Amino acid sequence: MMAKPKPPVQKNQTIHLTFEDLTHEGNGVGKVDGYPLFVPYGLPGEEAEVKVVKVKKNFGFGKLVKVKEESEDRVEPPCDVYYQCGGCQLQHMSYSMQLEMKHNQVKNAMKKIGHLEHVPVHETIGMADPWRYRNKIQIPVGQKEDGKLKTGFYQKRSHNIIDMDTCIIQDELNDRMVETVRRIATELGISAYDEDTHRGTLRHIMVRTGQTTKDIMIVLVMKTKNLPEKDKLIDEIRDAFPSVKSIVHNVNNQKTNVILGKETKVIWGDEYIYDMIGDIKFMISPKSFYQVNPTQTKNLYDKALEYADLRGGETVIDAYCGIGTISLFLAQKAKKVYGVEVVPEAVTDAKKNARLNKMDNAEFYVGQAEELMPWWRNQGLRPDVIVVDPPRKGCDEELLKAMLDMEPERIVYVSCNPSTLARDLRVLEDGGYATQEVQPVDMFPQTSHVECVTYLTPKV
Ligand code: SAH
């Protein structure tokens, strides 16, 4: 057997590289004699000096030392800590290039994984202003040398907190709330939790805002059940921000990376805050899953609704329904919607949301979609439309099979992972359905994530 050729580069070597492409994480790809090197922050078309940092058999990693020929799409990242923080990956790239990169990523997955190169993939729907879109922040708290509290995300691949004043993909209100709580907690002498020693009190500050209502919920995640200076803390927060609707104390005394602990207590105000997507109102509690970019969620759901093509008489199943967001959107136009979701609390919220909107044509069930769907089928339920919105790992095979068995007129698939989407579409295609078109939506500008919506109809 012939020995595999040795990689043409060595660790710590500095080389001249031209970037040809981008990975789906947004790293630049350049080749040395056909051997690919992945380099964070490199952009296609650029020539650069690169230091080789890792050499594997079939590919390696490099570090950008100096860009010699800059791409027209290179922009100055507006965030001061962009290169230290792990939160965003694409701030060095023009927004138009980000959208194009996501479009290409979806096209590639459709072609390589789904063998669906003939299916049209539309241009990514972007945001007019791709900043300050997030409605939820969960930020770790640390202590500075002078004793003052600091808040910031972890440095890449570490648990060091970067001291930061602002996160420019967050709603401005979230930023200001974090700053206020940090200042007040410092003044009241509340200590930061220290992961290494498992001592101290305040672990995370979480803020959720309703984009349309401007409702604010603050969650103080603490190691202790005892909340030091509770009344003063509440008074001062309310004085600083009268629009705060809810202040919550969450207790997490475990040595864990999971942010929220089991115990949650409203210490002031309401149990829920509210937000609207289109004409539908939703209740949000500290733990409920709610899309983080409401502007783009509306665009995504509008597309899903368009693809469902409802005329008023249809029965619809929304598998993976969460707190019923898509279900209620569909229920505006359908005769009946059945939602299924595995997290019981989410189903409770979904039912409350239906009541809140006075919608009595949506029913919600706790269970695994792949188990409930075959049961429904055996009960004689024949949906006209099935909508799925699974987590990153995609749909369970049993569920895909159950969907095919139900023979709906349409399947609408919402996905946060183009690879598993393409894999599942292949199964549905082989089962007799044809993918019509795919619409990528930029739900998470400045990051490498992309969301898609697509629909299938029976092959004729
Ligand atoms: N459609 C909702 C939620 C999508 S997130 C929205 O847009 O807000 C995916 C949801 O699927 C999560 O709420 C998760 O709890 C749920 N889920 C995961 N596995 C499941 C399964 N096997 N059966 C039903 N629901 C599941």
CATH number of the CATH domain containing 59: 2.40.50.140
Closest atom, ligand 1, to C-alpha of 399: 22
Ligand 1 centroid from CA 209, angstroms: 22
Ligand 1 centroid from CA 347, angstroms: 10
Q: Which of 277, 312, 342 is the last residue of a domain?
A: 277
Closest CA to 324 of 371, 286, 291, 368: 291
Residues 129-153 have a mean pLDDT of 95
Q: pLDDT band at residue 2, thresholds of 50, 70 and 90?
A: low
Q: Are residue 298 and residue 372 in the same domain, yes or no?
A: yes
Closest atom, ligand 1, to C-alpha of 340: 24
Q: What is the mean pLDDT of the chain?
A: 95
- Indicate which residue's Cα is closest to atom 16 of ligand 1: 320
The CATH number covering residue 152 comes to 2.40.50.1070
pLDDT at res. 265: 96
Q: pLDDT band at residue 287, thresholds of 50, 70 and 90?
A: confident
Assess contact for 223 and 193: CB atoms under 8 A: yes
**Distance, CA of 153 to CA of 160 (rounded, Å):** 8
Closest atom, ligand 1, to C-alpha of 343: 15
3-class DSSP state for residue 217?
strand
Name beta bridge partners: 192.
202
Ligand 1 centroid from CA 343, angstroms: 8
Q: Are residue 52 and residue 144 in the same domain, yes or no?
A: no
In a domain, 90, yes or no: no
Q: pLDDT band at residue 349, thresholds of 50, 70 and 90?
A: very high
- Indicate which residue's Cα is closest to atom 10 of ligand 1: 320
Binding-site residue numbers for S-adenosyl-L-methionine are: 291, 320, 341, 389
- Tell me: the pLDDT tens digits for 23-44? 999 999 999 999 999 999 999 9
In a domain, 224, yes or no: yes
Q: Are residue 65 and residue 123 in the same domain, yes or no?
A: no
The domain total for the chain is: 3
Closest atom, ligand 1, to C-alpha of 346: 13
In a domain, 393, yes or no: yes
Ligand 1 centroid from CA 149, angstroms: 36
- Indicate which residue's Cα is closest to atom 22 of ligand 1: 368
* Beta pairing class for 244-251 and 315-319: unpaired
Q: List, chain by chain if needed, residues with CB within 6 Å of any ligand 1 atom.
A: 289, 291, 320-322, 325-326, 340-343, 346, 368-370, 389-391, 396
Q: Are residue 115 and residue 142 in the same domain, yes or no?
A: no
Ligand 1 centroid from CA 73, angstroms: 36
Q: 3-state DSSP: the chain helix, strand, coil percent, rounded to 5?
A: 25, 30, 45
Q: Which domain holds residue 47?
A: 14-69
- Tell me: the pLDDT tens digits for 432-444? 999 999 999 999 9
Q: Are residue 265 and residue 302 in the same domain, yes or no?
A: no
Alpha-helical regions (H) of 160-290: 172-187, 230-240
Ligand 1 centroid from CA 224, angstroms: 31
Give the residue numbers marked as catalytic.
416
Complete edge-to-edge strand list for the sheet that includes strand 336-341? 362-366, 336-341, 315-319, 385-388, 410-415, 451-458, 433-441
Closest atom, ligand 1, to C-alpha of 290: 8
Q: Are residue 317 and residue 428 in the same domain, yes or no?
A: yes
3-state SS string over 44-70? CCCEEEEEEEEECCCCEEEEEEEEEEC
pLDDT at res. 3: 62
Q: How far is CA 43 from the centre of its chain?
A: 24
- Indicate which residue's Cα is closest to atom 21 of ligand 1: 368
- Indicate which residue's Cα is closest to atom 1 of ligand 1: 321
In a domain, 120, yes or no: yes
Q: Are residue 418 and residue 438 in the same domain, yes or no?
A: yes
Q: Which of 277, 304, 329 is the last residue of a domain?
A: 277
Neighbours of 286 (CB within 10 A): 20
Residues 150-176 have a mean pLDDT of 92
* High-pLDDT (> 70) share of the chain, %: 99
Residue 340 has pLDDT above 60, yes or no: yes
- Indicate which residue's Cα is closest to atom 12 of ligand 1: 322
**Residue to mutate, 321, 368, 444, 452, ligand 1, most ligand atoms under 8 Å from C-beta:** 321
**Residue to mutate, 342, 349, 353, ligand 1, most ligand atoms under 8 Å from C-beta:** 342
In a domain, 93, yes or no: no
Q: Are residue 339 and residue 196 in the same domain, yes or no?
A: no
pTM of the model: 0.94
In a domain, 220, yes or no: yes
Q: Are residue 226 and residue 112 in the same domain, yes or no?
A: no
**Token pair listed for 5:** 């050729």
Ligand 1 centroid from CA 368, angstroms: 9
Residues 168-175 have a mean pLDDT of 95
Q: Which of 217, 248, 277 is the last residue of a domain?
A: 277
- Indicate which residue's Cα is closest to atom 17 of ligand 1: 320
In a domain, 89, yes or no: no
At 17, which amino acid appears?
A: L
Q: Are residue 300 and residue 368 in the same domain, yes or no?
A: yes
Q: Are residue 238 and residue 256 in the same domain, yes or no?
A: yes
Residue 177 has pLDDT above 60, yes or no: yes
Residues 173-200 have a mean pLDDT of 94
Half-sphere exposure of residue 346: CA atoms within 13 angstroms, side-chain side:
19
Q: Are residue 211 and residue 107 in the same domain, yes or no?
A: no
- Indicate which residue's Cα is closest to atom 11 of ligand 1: 320
In a domain, 1, yes or no: no
**Residue to mutate, 289, 340, 444, ligand 1, most ligand atoms under 8 Å from C-beta:** 289
Residues ≥6 apart with Cβ < 8 Å to 54:
11, 60, 61
The CATH number covering residue 304 comes to 3.40.50.150
Closest atom, ligand 1, to C-alpha of 321: 1
At 390, which amino acid appears?
A: P
**Distance, CA of 386 to CA of 202 (rounded, Å):** 44
Ligand 1 centroid from CA 372, angstroms: 14
pLDDT at res. 5: 75
3-class DSSP state for residue 278?
coil
